[in-house]
């Protein structure tokens, strides 16, 4: 039965062998059937032919034609375009001037906009909002089983919200469970986005959390601690061996005498990690909120800076020169301030009607984000989702517009720019022939109003339709 199994599975490598084997099998069957009656022979041959036809049909290409009002291809918006999907790849994108293959499934999407599957640039699928459970309690009191169960639900919510890829930047105490989650998604055990995994993240010993109130009590940490270059190199190699697609380093953290953020690693220590990671074909990304921490990381060769809260015009100039992108995570600070009690103004609200003035942290974040835009720094879309609800990823996109970015630029950040910066531009992030069929459709036009990005009607990942609200 070995050959039949290969044939059913549609293993292209075995196809020529299969056909030869079928011919041989038919010939042998005819010889064996010689003693039997002519009717029996015909019946058996008919049954065998039916089986072959069924196998062939199972192997044939599957086509889906999507007909939306507009197509955002990852860079610009088009009208009058259709998109043809062949199996798990994009086969055609443009005007309908090609012959439709027989048996194509046609999906009418009048009044809707088709986009590449969105890419979340900064997620933590193993965290849930801090107003539900504090970060400390998640790391110290929730079991790995509970955290994984939550992550499964978070993965599903993310995909259904139109985010077909996540760059997951640290399990925060859940070891290498992101790699296991990614494998389960790839095997089709659970629905979820493509995952680019950082595994544990790397911190300087004694700088991270949870922090112990007593020096005599050693608490488990939310990331891997290292103390010198040798340990840094060892940790990078260990994380790669466990399945890390990238390395995340905390260039600074809140370990100052008064709990203020200060640089935690030297430029040389970060550069050592970059050298090893690059040898292994991985990028290093850095958490950095201080100007000095950002500068050290940029000079050490990281690919993205996460947060960048206190970046100056000089720092952003350096980022532009060195081609380092900023993932601003606007939504995280906004969420944390609201958890602390800030009553944020909604549309048409004014201060004084149960509404508080903007906290300093938020005003400062707006200012630095605008400095980065002015300097021409490449901006990724990543909200630090996990601090806020998974599936609410669009919150960051709305805030990018609120803080001064054009909607079309935000859409680029969430698709082609994230794909290019993360090193996956030849696979995802655009509506372009031969890229993976990761496609979403939203109601209305998200360039006219970015809030339309939440009105997801259709989600396809790798050619499989996960959502179709018809
Ligand atoms: Zn984060």
From the CA of 116, how far away is ligand 1's center (Å)? 24
The rounded distance, in Å, linking the Cα atoms of 469 and 160 is 11
From the CA of 165, how far away is ligand 1's center (Å)? 16
Tokens of 360: 């300093």
From the CA of 169, how far away is ligand 1's center (Å)? 6
Burial 243-271 (b: 16+ CB within 10 A, else e): ebbbbbbbbbbebeeeeebebbbebebbb
Burial 415-432 (b: 16+ CB within 10 A, else e): bbbbbbbbebbeebbbbe
Per-residue model confidence (pLDDT) at position 19: 53
Say if pTM beats, i.e. exceeds, 0.95.
no
Banded model confidence at residue 345, pLDDT cuts 50, 70, 90: confident
Burial 360-391 (b: 16+ CB within 10 A, else e): eebeebbebbebbbebebbbbbbbbbbbbbbb
35-83 confidence digits (pLDDT tens) = 566 666 677 666 666 556 555 555 699 999 999 999 999 999 999 999 9
From the CA of 162, how far away is ligand 1's center (Å)? 20
**Alpha helices (H) along 212-329:** 229-241, 267-279, 291-300, 313-322
441-467 confidence digits (pLDDT tens) = 999 999 999 999 999 999 999 999 999
From the CA of 92, how far away is ligand 1's center (Å)? 37
* Percentage of the chain modeled with pLDDT above 70: 86
From the CA of 144, how far away is ligand 1's center (Å)? 19
From the CA of 19, how far away is ligand 1's center (Å)? 53
From the CA of 454, how far away is ligand 1's center (Å)? 22
From the CA of 201, how far away is ligand 1's center (Å)? 10
Q: In angstroms, how far is the first alpha carbon of the chain from the final one?
A: 42
Helix (H) or strand (E) holding 307: strand 304-307
From the CA of 435, how far away is ligand 1's center (Å)? 28
From the CA of 123, how far away is ligand 1's center (Å)? 6
**Number of CB atoms found within 10 A of residue 154's CB:** 26
308-341 confidence digits (pLDDT tens) = 999 999 999 999 999 999 999 999 999 999 999 9
From the CA of 124, how far away is ligand 1's center (Å)? 6
From the CA of 122, how far away is ligand 1's center (Å)? 6
265-314 confidence digits (pLDDT tens) = 999 999 999 999 999 999 999 999 999 999 999 999 999 999 999 999 99
From the CA of 73, how far away is ligand 1's center (Å)? 28
Pairing of strands 202-204, 224-226: parallel
Taking 90 as the threshold, does the pLDDT of residue 9 lie above it? no
Query: Where do the domains of the chain lie, and which CATH numbers do they carry?
Result: 2-59 (no CATH), 63-115+454-468 (2.30.40.10), 118-392 (3.20.20.140)
């Amino acid at each position: 039965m070995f050959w039949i199994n290969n044939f059913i599975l549609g293993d292209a490598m075995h196809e020529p062998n299969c056909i030869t084997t079928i011919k041989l099998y038919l010939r042998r069957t005819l010889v064996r059937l010689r003693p039997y009656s002519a009717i029996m022979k015909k019946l058996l041959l008919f049954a065998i032919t039916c089986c072959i036809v069924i196998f062939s049909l199972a192997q044939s290409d599957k086509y889906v034609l999507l007909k939306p009002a507009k197509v955002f291809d990852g860079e610009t918006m088009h009208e009058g375009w259709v998109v043809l999907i062949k199996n798990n790849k994009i086969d055609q994108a443009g005007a309908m001037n090609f012959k439709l293959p027989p048996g194509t499934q046609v999906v009418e999407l009048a009044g809707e906009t088709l986009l590449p599957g969105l890419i979340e640039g900064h997620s933590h699928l193993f965290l849930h909002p801090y107003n539900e459970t504090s970060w400390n309690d998640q790391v110290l009191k929730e079991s790995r089983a509970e955290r994984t169960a939550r992550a499964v639900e978070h993965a599903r919510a993310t995909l259904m919200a139109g985010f077909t890829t996540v760059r997951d930047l640290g399990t925060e105490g859940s070891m290498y469970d992101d790699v296991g989650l990614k494998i389960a998604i790839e095997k089709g055990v659970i629905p979820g986005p493509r995952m680019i995994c950082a595994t544990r993240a790397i911190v300087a010993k004694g700088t991270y959390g949870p922090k112990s109130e007593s020096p005599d009590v050693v608490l488990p940490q939310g990331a891997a601690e290292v103390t010198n270059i040798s340990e840094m190199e060892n940790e990078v190699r260990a994380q790669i061996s466990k399945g890390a697609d990238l390395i995340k380093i905390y260039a600074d953290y809140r370990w100052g005498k008064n709990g203020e953020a200060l640089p935690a690693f030297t430029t040389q220590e970060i550069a050592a990690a970059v050298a090893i990671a690059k040898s292994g074909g991985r990028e290093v990304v850095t958490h950095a909120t201080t100007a000095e921490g950002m500068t050290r990381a940029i000079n050490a060769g990281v690919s993205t800076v996460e947060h960048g809260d206190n970046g100056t015009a000089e720092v952003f100039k350096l980022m532009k020169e060195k081609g380092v992108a900023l993932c601003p995570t606007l939504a995280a600070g906004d969420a944390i301030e609201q958890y602390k009690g800030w009553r944020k103004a909604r549309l048409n609200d004014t201060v004084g009607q149960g509404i508080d003035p903007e906290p300093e942290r938020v005003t400062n974040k707006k200012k630095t984000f605008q400095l980065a835009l002015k300097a021409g720094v490449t901006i990724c879309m990543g909200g630090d989702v996990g601090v806020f609800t998974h599936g609410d990823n669009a919150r960051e996109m709305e805030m990018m517009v609120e803080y001064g970015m054009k909607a079309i630029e935000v859409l680029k950040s969430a698709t082609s720019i994230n794909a290019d910066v993360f090193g996956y531009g030849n696979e995802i992030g655009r509506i372009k022939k031969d890229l993976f069929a990761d496609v979403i459709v939203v109601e209305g036009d998200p360039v006219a109003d970015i809030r339309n990005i939440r009105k997801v009607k259709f989600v396809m990942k790798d050619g499989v339709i996960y959502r179709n609200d018809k």
